[in-house]
Amino acid sequence: MNEMLSIDVADESGAKAHPIYAHAPRSVEFNKLRKRLIRHIREALEKFDMVRAGEKWLVALSGGKDSYSMLALLLDLKWRGLLPVELLVCNLDQGQPNFPKHILPVYLSGIGVPHRIEYKDTYSIVTSKLPADATYCSLCSRLRRSNLYRIAREEGCSALVLGHHRDDSLETFFMNLFHGGKIAAMPPRLLNDEGDIEVLRPMIYCGEEDLQRFSDAMAFLIIPCDLCGSQDGLERNAIKTMLNDIEKCMPGRKDVMIRAMGNINASHMLDTNLFDFANLRQNRTNA
């Protein structure tokens, strides 16, 4: 991997950063945090071969800490000539009650970022199909994803970029392990069922705690994800608590676990589709 450029590199106009960083802290601590997150993203981009110069990406912006942080870090890379793709930011207004429609278009226009705000009332669909005490997140997410694929096609984008991070992937892994009876997590890169749009997760190595600190320092105008009154299921919350307890007792375990997902020994697992146990034979010689 190429050596990281200094945070203080200026562009041709003399500006030292993208306008999204205009009010960012100038502290050494913040610069270290920013560089660490950039390093993790660059590793994912390169390791999983995400970037093809000249393509166009649809960057999903929900207004939460993760998608805001992802946008800022991708703009940082693009500003420095390290991300040779076109970025189009998209927010999908799903019709949740009291959704603050003005925040994102005003913010994105103010920093000069190309964007598309799309209104699609999926909230009414979800509430009509599920009981009032149900968790809406799963169905809401599927409807959101299908609309983002549609928008990506309309805008000529080759990829949909999502703000899932290391902790999201680990939580999904343990959800599948404990409740689904399978070994699977969030992949850093995948192709949709139609085969025309890639889904990219460039923050797959970024820790949630780092993203929270980054978001707090940047003072993003956070839009809460519970406007519909629904929250993540209790099972995922329990997994998150478990992982945080492990990390507290044994610091660094989350990073070890995410690296382990890329270091699989198929012959030491139980999946006959991954390893040919049937044809495993001893190499015996006659005495």
**Residue 224, pLDDT score:** 81
CB 188 within 8 A of CB 201: yes
Q: What is the largest CA-CA distance in the chain?
A: 83
The 3-state DSSP class for residue 34 equals: helix
Exposed/middle/buried for 144, CB within 10 Å: 0-12, 13-18, 19+?
middle
**Residue 265, pLDDT score:** 95
Give the chain's radius of gyration (CA, Å). Answer: 21
CB 23 within 8 A of CB 16: no
CB 68 within 8 A of CB 223: no
Secondary structure letter of residue 5 according to DSSP: P
Q: State the pTM of this model.
A: 0.88
The 3-state DSSP class for residue 115 equals: strand
What are the structure tokens assigned to 272, written together? Answer: 């006959």
**Average per-residue pLDDT for the chain:** 88
Q: Taken in order 200, 203, 205, 209, is the CA torsion positive or negative? A: negative
**Residue 130, pLDDT score:** 66
SS3 string, 47-110, reads: HCCCCCCCCEEEEECCCCHHHHHHHHHHHHHHHCCCCCCEEEEEEEECCCCCCCCCHHHHHHHH
**Residue 235, pLDDT score:** 83
Q: Determine the Cα–Cα distance for residues 104 and 81; give it in Å rounded to an integer.
A: 25
What angle do the packed helices 122-129 and 137-154 form, to 10 degrees?
Answer: 150
**Residue 229, pLDDT score:** 55
| Alpha helical stretches, state H, the chain | 28-47, 65-79, 103-110, 122-129, 137-154, 166-175, 208-218, 234-249, 253-260
pLDDT digits (tens, 9 = 90+) for 143-155: 888 899 999 999 9
pLDDT digits (tens, 9 = 90+) for 181-231: 999 999 999 999 999 999 999 999 999 999 999 999 999 999 987 655 555
Read off φ and ψ for residue 65, nearest 5 degrees.
Answer: -60, -35
CB 65 within 8 A of CB 212: yes
pLDDT under 50 in the chain at which residues? 1-14
Domains of the chain: 26-224+231-260 (3.40.50.620)
Q: Determine the Cα–Cα distance for residues 208 and 65; give it in Å rounded to an integer.
A: 9
Q: How many CB atoms lie within 10 A of CB 198?
A: 19
CB 183 within 8 A of CB 172: no
Q: Determine the Cα–Cα distance for residues 48 and 117; give it in Å rounded to an integer.
A: 29
